[in-house]
Amino acid sequence: MTHVALVTGGSRGLGRALTDGLVAAGWHVVTDGRHADALAAAARPWADSVTAIPGDLTDAAHRDQLVAAVRRLGRLDLLVHNAGVLGPASGSTRRRELVDVRPDDLQHVWRHNVGAPIVLTGLFLTDLAASGGTLLSISSDAALEHYEGWGLYGASKAALDHLTMTFAAENPGIRAYAVDPGDMRTRMHQEWFPGEDISDRPLPETVVPHLLALLERRPPSGRYRAADIAVAVPAAG
């Protein structure tokens, strides 16, 4: 039996690395991305193990495409909310004090980081319950900590955590996790710190073994830090 996952935002960063990891573990992955060229480039090595669908999760027609793709595969074992946006759509910088956030900035972040995940989870809840599956939301330390200029993004991640845990409380047949992956060397992170050297941050590939260990062990639903999820070390010799 091939397990099936839907990983949003698989064209780059942690979404792409997690898709790689799941495919290597024998899963079939449905994934998407807002930038068709980047998604097509990511999909080339995946061949028949990945169904890649370009589009924006805030678009109902795109969500319908994802539903159709999963239904053709006949099951869903894992839904990963990885796609998201960092901050305001307006202006030249992502970091913005709350007093400077405009209503369209709020709508942009909330639709991508909160609205799309809650609607997508609702669409697939029956599929996840049927397989005893897993809901995994990629969170951030900004959901708990209060950093200057991160208020809009952090609040959206706190809301995503809350929704994920509420889905767990309301659906005991599934497991639901909000996971803080820690800082990573990604394009999104670089956009937050333009011009800064972020080469000391770990690559997203280093987070994947921790997420796979979480999926294998399936502890109680809750919020976790990836760094706290132990990865088994193969015995020497």
Which residues are annotated as catalytic?
A: 139, 153, 157
CA distance 111 to 88: 12
CA distance 19 to 30: 9
CA distance 90 to 114: 19
CB burial string 175-201: b at 16+ within 10 A, e below? bbbbbbbbebbbebbeebeeeeeeeeb
How far from 20 is each of 68, 70, 71, 165, 235, CA to CA, in Å?
22, 18, 22, 27, 24
Residue 104 tokens read as 């369209």
Q: Is the dihedral of CA 176, 180, 184, 189 positive or negative?
A: positive
Q: How far apart are the first and last CA of the chain?
A: 32
Helix (H) or strand (E) holding 122: helix 116-131
DSSP 8-state symbol, 48: G
